[in-house]
Structure formats: structure tokens, C-alpha cells
Amino acid sequence: MSTTSLPAPDHSPRLRDALLAGDFTVDGLLDLLGAPAYAALARSETVPALRATRGDTRLETLVRLFLLQRPVPAERARAVLPLGECLADGWVVEDDDPDGAYVSATVDVRPYGGPDGEDWFIVSDLGCAVGGASGASGHGEGVVLGVGGASTTLAGLTVRTPVAKALDVGTGSGIQALHAARHATRVTATDLNPRALECARLTLALSGEPGADLRAGSLFEPVDGETYDLIVSNPPFVISPGARLTYRDGGMGGDDLCRTLVRETGERLADGGYAHFLANWQHVDGEEWQDRLRSWVPRGCDAWIVQREVQDVTRYAELWLRDSGDHEADPETYAARYDAWLDEFEARRTRAVGFGWITLRKSGSERPSVLVEEWPHPVEQPLGETVRAHFERQDYLRDHDDAALLTARFALAPEVVQEQVGLPGAEDPEHVVLRQNRGMRRATKVDTVAAGFAGVCDGSLSAGRILDAIAQLMGEDPVLLRDRTPQAIRLLVEEGFLVPVEGP
């Protein structure tokens, strides 16, 4: 574990004021660096940003100090920071140099934009602000990563309705706790790594948000017997031989950590509450991966599980060996570690590893809705409202049998467009596609009846009356059409193409 002491939060408000006065924000960075250099930082590439910060403005000084982790002259630091307090609290340290006095940052401080335009700051270990850790093993197994693609994906998935109690399991640098603080009365954050809890404390303080109840321990151990309205976790989900790196390796065999986390959530989730996780899962010979994941869902919970990516075991092992810097070891050591990963997968009959999102909703239903699907296509973030609407539609469909659907009224979702596919000049299309331009951006093939039905739905007529009119136009038996169409209506509602219209 890293032996470097972390700063104290005593004077965080003064430091925050100084950072904001220097325009050390997401917008400020974009203006200073330009989009290409800013994007390069997200790939842990610092050269373009170094070239853009050769001057001596307030913002350039802050970027070089806290983002690029370069020593800056003490006098320049004094002009932009309450330097005495920063030295006393440990945000920076003096670095005597033959050419004069310099100061260096002890942690990475990265501007992060909140969902409503908030100026937040994520505190993490030096050189580890963007995950992949880019060889973070050199910092020790207790390294604390900053914001990365996984963190922002989870934050965007989370349903953001106001709640009384929220729990962030494995908080790391505190990103999910920071988001939860905006809509939860009380936030609890746990982590096995005490250093991560201290980083989370600094993140919340420097971002000007209320502090969380920080507790040390694994998974739900620190909150035994308590329930929450919202649970989020970006856990150490990597399936690896052993647990060398706390920030990524779960320390349980195979995908047991993710399975345990999901299954134990049922007892921790309050009625109507949501839980959101990122996870990896094994694709095992002789077993359908969808069935594997369905078995994880706790009793009384609806679930929506989306597989976003699949990698064969060789690509998966290479990805995480690079993440930990093992690819830079001598060839024999690298080969031995690579071999250990493949031994682990072979022993567990694992041929591939899936990555994706798991959302639970505590419905208490005896007929839970469990959807497990593969969707590798682009989506529109944030997806929190899309996730909430998905579960509301499941409630609706569970409460409406086919007869009730025919008496109900629907409206075509406003972002849906119709595409007709066929040969040029053909009188009729080969097929019709309905496509969403928002949210999950789904597309589905429909027949002429379903296409005509969806096109007419504006909330004014019941589904049955629309089908009767279509039957008359097409010369079909209206009774048979009513019998065979509810299943298509149900699918269009489930996937969000049609929206139920309530009221008179």
C-alpha cells in the first residue's frame, strides 16, 4: 500500500475557493487545453497538456501542479493558493531545487462536472486519476483511482429520484457518493481500503458537498442489518488469479464477488429501492450466461441486466496484465503471470468474460420481471430516467393482461422514427423498422399491422378500437387480429416504443 500520507480536509473550503477563482473547472480546462489535449488526459497522455501550459497564468499553474503533477515554483503557487494552509494540510510539499524553491502536489485533484453544472473535484493517488491505472501496481496494492469510464457509466445509469438513505459499496475516491449527496438525505460509503475512505472524504469536502458516513469493511459487512433506498457499487470485479490489487481484484474465486454482492443486496434494499452495479461474469462451458445471471437475482427483486461487451479469456487477461503494468516486466515473469490467468480460467471452464450493468428494483412481486439481454450498441447517457421508466413499464405490464391492454390507450414515444427497408422502386417495403433516437436507441422490426398500430397511437383511441379499424382496412377478421396482436403491443411497451396513456 502507498505510504504517502493523504492531506487533511481542515481548510478544504479555502482551497476550493482558490481552485474556482483560478477557473480550475471542466469548462476552464477545455478552454485552456482545447478538446484534443483534454481528451488525451482521459487516456493518461499528458504531453499535449504540458505543451498547452507553458505560461504562468493561474490556471496553467494549477493544471501543472494538480493534474500533470509537475513541480511549480513556490512563488507561483503562492499567487494562486493559500500556500501555507496547503502545506500544513499536506496538499502540497516543498521540493527544494538548486534553481529555487518548488512545491509538488501529494494527490491528484481533477475537476469533474456534476449533472446540474456543479464544479466538483475528485481526489486520488498521483498518476491514477484515470482508470486503467497505467501501471498502478508500482504505487502499491492500496492505490486509489480517480474518475474513469466505469465511474461515469455507473453514475449515468443511476436513478436520481430523492431518497432518504443511499449506500455506495466500495466507494474508492468517492465519485458515486458525491453524486448521491445531491439527492439523498444521508449517504453511507464503505470500502475495504481505509485509504480510499480518506480520498472519498477529501473529494466530498473539496467539492463542497456534505460529508458521508464512511465505514471500513468488505461489501455489506459495515452496514449489517441496515436497509437503503439506493445502493450503488463499482466493485473490484476483475476475475483474476488472486487479489494483488485492491482497487480491481475481488479476492473471491471467479465472479463470486459480483454474485455475492448482487444476491446479498436483496436484504439491504428497502421496498421500492434501486441498486445499480457494474460487473464481470464468466461464460462457462455448458451453461448459458443468461441463466447464470438470472440465478444471481435476489427474491422479491425485478432486474434489468445488460451485457455490453464480451472478451475471450486471452484478450481479457492481456487487458488486465497491461492495466497493472505486468507487460513491462521481464518476459519470463510476464509469461508466468499470463499462464496463471489462463490456468484460472481453464480450471473454471471459462471461455469468455462478459461486462455490463446490473440494476435491481425491490418490487416484492411474486412474478418478478427479470430481463437479461445483450446490447453492445451506443446508448445516450445519462440513462437514469430510461432505467426508471423501464421498471415502471414492467409494473404496468404485470398489472395488465391481454384483455386490459386492448382497452388501454397508448402514445408513440416522441423520439421514435419509422424506417422502411426494401429494394428501390418496390411497391411495398421488405420490412419496417421502428427506431429510438434517445435512451437505449433500440430498433425493432415490425409487421405492417404493428407499424400501422404504432403510427396511429396518439393516446386518443383504445388499442382495441385501433385494431378494429386496421382489420376493416386490411379485410381481416377483427376477432383474430385482437387475439394475435397483444403480444406485439406488449413488446413495444416493454422496449419503450409505446407509452401507456393514463386518465380519461
What does the pLDDT look like over 256-283, one tens digit per residue? 999 999 999 999 999 999 999 999 999 9
| Concatenated DSSP letters of 375-412 | --S---S--HHHHHHHHHHHHHHHH--HHHHHH-EEEE
201-205's contacts with Cβ under 8 Å and 24+ in sequence apart are: 201/9, 201/174, 202/6, 202/7, 202/9, 202/12, 202/107, 202/123, 202/174, 203/120, 203/121, 203/122, 203/123, 203/173, 203/174, 203/175, 203/177, 203/178, 204/174, 204/177, 204/178, 205/9, 205/12, 205/13
The DSSP 8-state label assigned to residue 67 in this structure reads I
**Considering only 98-107, 307-316, 349-358, which range has the smallest mean pLDDT?**
98-107
pLDDT of residue 325: 85
Whether omega for the bond prior to residue 132 falls within 30 degrees of 0, making it cis, is yes
The DSSP 8-state label assigned to residue 238 in this structure reads B
Q: Which residues pair with 445 in a beta bridge?
A: 433
pLDDT tens for 47-73 read 999 999 999 999 999 999 999 999 999
pLDDT tens for 434-461 read 999 999 999 999 999 999 999 999 999 9
Q: What's the average model confidence in pLDDT over 295-306?
A: 98
State which amino acid sits at residue 173. S
Listed residue (72, 171, 71) closest to 123, CA to CA: 171
pLDDT of residue 295: 98
Confidence of residue 4 (pLDDT cuts 50, 70, 90): confident
pLDDT of residue 1: 40
Strands 301-312 and 350-362: antiparallel
Listed residue (195, 211, 115) closest to 156, CA to CA: 115
CB 248 within 8 A of CB 293: no
Nearest-angstrom CA–CA distance, 44 and 52: 16
Angle value at C-alpha 170, between 169 and 174, nearest 5 degrees = 100
- Residue 503 sits at φ, ψ, to 5 deg, of 90, 180
Confidence of residue 134 (pLDDT cuts 50, 70, 90): very low
Which secondary structure element, helix H or strand E, spans residue 102, and what is its range? strand 100-105
Beta sheet of 458-462, edge-to-edge order = 458-462, 409-412, 498-501
- Residue 95 sits at φ, ψ, to 5 deg, of -135, 90
Q: Give CA separation, 467 vs 100, 470, 483, 497, in Å.
A: 83, 5, 10, 17
Confidence of residue 133 (pLDDT cuts 50, 70, 90): very low
pLDDT of residue 136: 46
Confidence of residue 365 (pLDDT cuts 50, 70, 90): very high
Find the Cα–Cα–Cα–Cα dihedral 208, 127, 168, 113, rounded to 10°: 40
pLDDT of residue 98: 67
- Residue 338 sits at φ, ψ, to 5 deg, of -60, -45
* C-alpha cell at position 283: 461464460
Q: What's the average model confidence in pLDDT over 164-183?
A: 97
